[in-house]
Amino acid sequence: MKNVFNSYDMKDLKLKNRISMAPMTRSRTIKGEVPTEMNAQYYAQRASAGVIISEATQISLQGQGYADTPGIYTQEQIDGWKKVTSAVHEEGGKIILQLWHVGRVSSSKVNGLQPIGPSPLIAKDTQVYIFDTAQSKDATMIPVEEPKEMSNDDITQVIEEFRIAAKNAIEAGFDGVEIHGANGYLLDQFLRSNSNRRSDRYGGNKENRIKLLLEITKEVIDEIGEDKTGVRLSPFIKFKDMDDPEILDTFMLAAKELNELDILYIHLCEADWDDAPQIPESFRKELRAAFKNTIIATGGYSLDKANDVVKKDLVDIVGFGRYFIPNPDLVNRLKNNYPLAQIKDSHTLFGGRDEVGYSDYLNYKA
């Protein structure tokens, strides 16, 4: 019977199972937003996942919204990521880099720059975090600032930054990239009518609002190939002031266009809190009909729920996020019904200069 422990071919990428380690922001880089040997160890410990999708990684300084998140726009960052990809590949794993621009979800206190977005609309009730000192254990939450409306030159630059970031990711040894179009960040801001009030070719109707996503995807494909290009979207998530009544229709239009581009996968980011809205099976069937390649789904999945959507052929790969933090051997624990470890200290989820709460979790010993 089809389940998440079966092997799976994602185009030419041969996966040992249908479990993905989901992207999780950890804010564990050093000065210059450079990955380290500690990051390499962390990812290598979790290489039993069929595929790892890395933490969100900014494509430029302008694209950064939180402290100590990694970049992929300098040679030093590329060299740091090489340590990570080599370590994962040595353990027989596959790893994809998530390309990120936060858009309006930022503050000049993070990167010294005014945020940018499709329109000069501040994201209500939205915060980002900084660390007051390099030794700070707790992040300081600060409100986002009003963004500058992006000019045509700004848009052209962002498209180019995504292309270069994809090129850099392949140089760093990644098996592909994921364009982050979810969770209220820049591309999601363009997709939604409440955050995109433009009257040019990138705003107004649904066809215009998906243009930037498609143009970036085409540039990335031209640079590294459609077989190495995935896209993450989150049509059911409304936080960061992203409640748009048109988003489901916009999403499905984008899915059909991405299907024509023959990209590697669509990654559906789903809400993972207790009272989150349940995605109807009819939506999953519509997406399956619209998009022929791999569908990944992440957000609040149990093993039973994951196996159910895979068995019904609604989803091909299921992502697990927080479970992978205290359970580096999560695949083995799930497969053998071993108990799952719990996160020891929530203070270690974001930020830190040592392995505590990061790479110090152990595999299960039966």
Indicate which residues carry an active-site annotation: 185
Parallel/antiparallel/unpaired status of strands 127-130 and 140-143: antiparallel
Residue with tokens 């205290």: 326
Residue 85 contacts residue 70 (beta carbons within 8 Å): no
User: Within 13 Å of residue 66, how many CA atoms lie on the same side as its CB?
Assistant: 23
Residue 50 contacts residue 315 (beta carbons within 8 Å): no
Residue 176 contacts residue 230 (beta carbons within 8 Å): yes
Tokens encoding 219: 């540039």
- In angstroms, the first-to-last Cα distance of the chain is 26
Residue 301 contacts residue 314 (beta carbons within 8 Å): no
Nearest to 96 by CA among 105, 84, 111, 83: 84
Name every residue whose Cβ is closer than 8 Å to that of residue 337 and which is 6 or more positions away in sequence.
none
User: Within 13 Å of residue 188, how many CA atoms lie on the same side as its CB?
Assistant: 29
Bridge partners, residue 30, by sequence: 34
Q: What is the distance between the alpha carbons of residues 271 and 277, in angstroms, rounded to a whole number?
A: 7
Q: What is the distance between the alpha carbons of residues 344 and 356, in angstroms, rounded to a whole number?
A: 10
Q: What is the distance between the alpha carbons of residues 240 and 104, in angstroms, rounded to a whole number?
A: 10
Residue 322 contacts residue 343 (beta carbons within 8 Å): yes
Name every residue whose Cβ is closer than 8 Å to that of residue 85 and which is 6 or more positions away in sequence.
95, 172, 173, 174
Q: What is the distance between the alpha carbons of residues 354 and 366, in angstroms, rounded to a whole number?
A: 28
